[in-house]
Amino acid sequence: MHPKINWPEAIKPLIKKYKRKKHPLDYENTYQLLVGVILSARDSDRHINQLSPQLFEAFPNIEALANGSSETLFPFIGSVRNFANKTKWLLTLAQTIKKDSNIPLALDALTELPGIGRKSANVIMREAGAKPEGVVVDIHVVRVAPRLGIATGTDPIKIEKQIMEALPKSEWDAGMAMSFLGREICRPKPKCEICLMKSVCAYYNGWSAKQD
């Protein structure tokens, strides 16, 4: 039997641990963050960090990117997974936004841009210090949240909704905290013994995922 977990309380140690931890993407401003988040989708942060210095030297801002083309971008991002679509998205986005100061920091406005879904928008808003309108749910959170028992299933949108319902808005950074936990400890083969969440974790304690 699964005990009823007070998630707003139970999640606090996790949020405290990762409160000020920066996203693994390297960036110096919101423009670089925006581009990095789009490029890293279905690719790795490490790979994007390797190529971004040269990319941003060639395209230092939205204006430079807006004047780019598939041919001028290819030498920098040709190794990125799904680079053809990402090139189109970046060029369209840059031509739409026109300058760095126009980059939106609201969920609806961000998700209207090509190549940006809810997860990407939530990451951008978190890193830029905007008020949260959702919860970051990446591949790590899709693994971690059901293991903990704060959510069920494998659909990122449904998992995000469950986390938002389980926690007050002030604790919505739990998404990124779970992502860090998934990268460091709650791996596909988890290091449960050193996890600070094991006392409330359904997976560790052998509880059924659904709360009674």
Same domain, 38 and 120: yes
pLDDT tens digits, one per residue of 77-113: 999 999 999 999 999 999 999 999 999 999 999 999 9
Let me know if residue 25 belongs to a domain.
no
- Answer whether residue 211 shows pLDDT above 60: no
What are residue 169's phi and psi, to 5 degrees?
-55, -30
Q: Quick one: angle between helices 139-148 and 156-166, nearest 10? A: 50
pLDDT tens digits, 58-78: 999 999 999 999 999 999 999
Burial class (CB in 10 A: 0-12, 13-18, 19+), 46: exposed
pLDDT of 2: 73
Q: Is residue 2 part of a domain?
A: no
Q: Which residues contact 62 (CB under 8 A, 6 or more apart)?
A: 31, 94, 97, 98, 99, 100, 102, 103
Q: Which domain holds residue 15?
A: 7-20+135-205
How much is the average pLDDT of 31-36? 98
126-182 per-position pLDDT tens digit:
999 999 999 999 999 999 999 999 999 999 999 999 999 999 999 999 999 999 999
Rounded to the nearest 5 degrees, what angle is found at the Cα of 39, between the Cα atoms of 76 and 30? 100
Q: Please report whether residue 210 resides in a domain.
A: no
Distance separating alpha carbons of residues 124 and 49, to the nearest angstrom = 16
Is 42 within a domain? yes
In degrees and rounded to multiples of 5, residue 90 shows phi and psi of -65, -45
What is the predicted pLDDT for the residue at 9?
98
Question: Distances from the Cα of 199 to the Cαs of 68, 149, 153, 179, 195, in angstroms?
Answer: 52, 12, 21, 19, 9
For the purposes of burial, counting CB atoms within 10 Å of the CB of 184, is it exposed (0-12), middle (13-18) or buried (19 or more)?
A: middle
End-of-domain residue from the set 128, 159, 180: 128
